[in-house]
Structure 1
């Protein structure tokens, strides 16, 4: 999930280093928090450090009193092979739960695909792709993403505008292009993964509205639990990350909320209250 869709303390750890007797693999750095990241994947990760995954990395590293060290690589074919598996870094900050290329930590947030519309437009309150008001409209969708199946089921795919799924963001930016097309009136709505849509709309598109699609009951599901990814077999490292997530969930939620990421409950049915 690319972009779609894609640390560390045991109980008793007092914000610095690893406790005695809790050794990680020799491959895991003991002197820096080594993060595998795409340098041009805003609003998630960016070489200038402004992405919300950058902020999460800084937060986790601060708990360890370690500096962050990045291994930059475009999140496309070969990302895991050339970063995590090549032992150049130790963690991917955002990865969908259950992905077999990595060992997933416990999830630290859940979010969903969204419908982005004009804030004052006639479909601004639409929260389901079966809503009859969408008939005859031109919706933007990333080709091959889960919402495309729902568009086909509801007879909306013929008019849809497709945008590329796997790209090198250094050269192509389909989601910003989609939002620009929406503002220009080329499309009537945009179906975008929430952790991308929310931050981009918050910072760059104040006239647009982001509505999570939480009422779809047929497959494929439109919500996903997001974890960190570590090397396969790194169970001790995974447990350390799990501990940090568990102990700092409120602060993690705040970083994500401040960025504009729509957070939902684990079952994908409701938005989380702002205070959670």
Structure 2
């Protein structure tokens, strides 16, 4: 009898210890009031964001802060490995403006845009294709950022790849700008880049480069992505507020993205022509 009692006491103490330990590591409760909209962002990453507030994510964040009625503040960090861990997870900020749908390190909001990898070529180029399997790529020197989805299909099509690094400290290097400059100089015949980057940098050349969204690709590579905002796991009310904001301001968001030349796709993956809008 005494042995059974001692065992019961030990079991009870073990349970209490586990409860105490789980309480000690539990996440703090979700904040209900916000004194500021605290955004985690790369300070040198146009067209998305920079410290001068010139990116489209900056402009959308300004709309959000105004809607919340609070100041907008930033925590600047290069968007390299460890970005989420060193910003959002440390609770020094509450929002990442651009994360692909399904990105497991954050809780994704609803998407606020969908874009696609695009071919950037000179205006007078004969390379007018909308799929990576097109035989016209054979023998052409094409710029592509290493480890991005277009790289393998381009090689299979016989393109000569000019590679640029993927993970860089944007304070030091600008591989996409390098890729665009190589197209302008004629070092490459074209470049296949993520849509927002392609549209933004192509429009800023003199003369502007042509952007061809790869909407007819049949290689099986994932070239289009839905982009969400990222918040911490366990913050459903914050996520719900942002989803409501996106729903109420989608037309204004689309207009901002159009200003930056972002190729936009509708829910069915079809290209949205300038001025058309998702609901047209």
Partner of 2:11: none
1:50 lines up with 2:51 in the alignment: no
CA 1:76 to 1:135, structure 2 compared with 1: closer, same or farther past 3 Å? same
CA drift at 1:154: 1.9
Q: Distance in 2 between matches of 1:207 and 1:241?
A: 35
**Of 71, 75, 100, which aligns to 1:96?**
100
Judged with a 3 Å threshold, the aligned counterparts in structure 2 of structure 1 residues 181 and 273 are, in CA distance, closer, same or farther, namely: closer
Once the two structures are superposed, residues 174-223 of structure 1 have per-residue CA deviations (whole angstroms, 9 ceiling, x without a partner) of 00000001101100010100111111222345431111101112322100
SS of corresponding position for 2:116: strand
Whether 1:275 and 2:276 are equivalent positions in the alignment is yes
Which range is displaced more, 264-273 or 134-143?
A: 264-273
Gapped runs of 5+ residues in structure 2? 1-27
Structure showing greater relative contact order (alpha-carbon pairs closer than 8 Å, 6 or more residues apart) = 1
Aligned to 1:198: 199
Counterpart of 1:116?
120
- TM (norm. structure 2) is 0.85
CA distance in 1, matches of 2:252, 2:184: 33
Select 2:138's aligned residue among 135, 138, 155. Answer: 135
Q: Deviations along 1:78-99, whole A, 9 cap, x unmatched?
A: 1001110000111101110000
Aligned to 1:239: 240
Q: Paired residue for 2:20? A: none
Unaligned runs of 5+ in 1: 1-23
Q: Quick one: distance in 1 between partners of 2:139 and 2:241?
A: 51
In the alignment, is the contact (CA less than 8 A) between 1:265 and 1:272 conserved in 2?
no
Secondary structure at the residue paired with 1:160? strand
SS at match of 1:146: coil
The number of aligned residues is: 250
The match for 2:7 is none
SS at match of 1:248: helix
Structural RMSD (CA): 1.6
Partner SS state of residue 163, structure 2: strand
Q: Post-superposition shift, 1:267?
A: 3.1
Relative distance call for 1:128 and 1:238 in structure 2 (3 A) is same
> Do the aligned residues in 2 keep the contact of 1:28 with 1:90 (CA within 8 Å)?
no
TM superposition shift of 1:56 = 0.8
Which residue of 2 is the match for residue 174 of structure 1? 175
- Residue 149 of structure 1 pairs with residue 152 of structure 2: yes
Q: Which runs of 4+ in 1 moved over 6 A?
A: none
Asked if structure 1 preserves the Cα contact closer than 8 Å seen for 2:133 and 2:219, the reply is: no
CA deviations over 1:66-89 (Å, ceiling 9, x no partner): 111101110001100111000011
Aligned to 2:14: none
Q: Distance in 1 between matches of 2:163 and 2:146?
A: 5
Larger Rg: 2
Is the deviation greater in 125-134 or in 254-263?
Answer: 125-134
In the superposition, relative to structure 1, how do residues 273 and 209 fare at CA in structure 2: closer, same or farther (>3 Å)?
closer
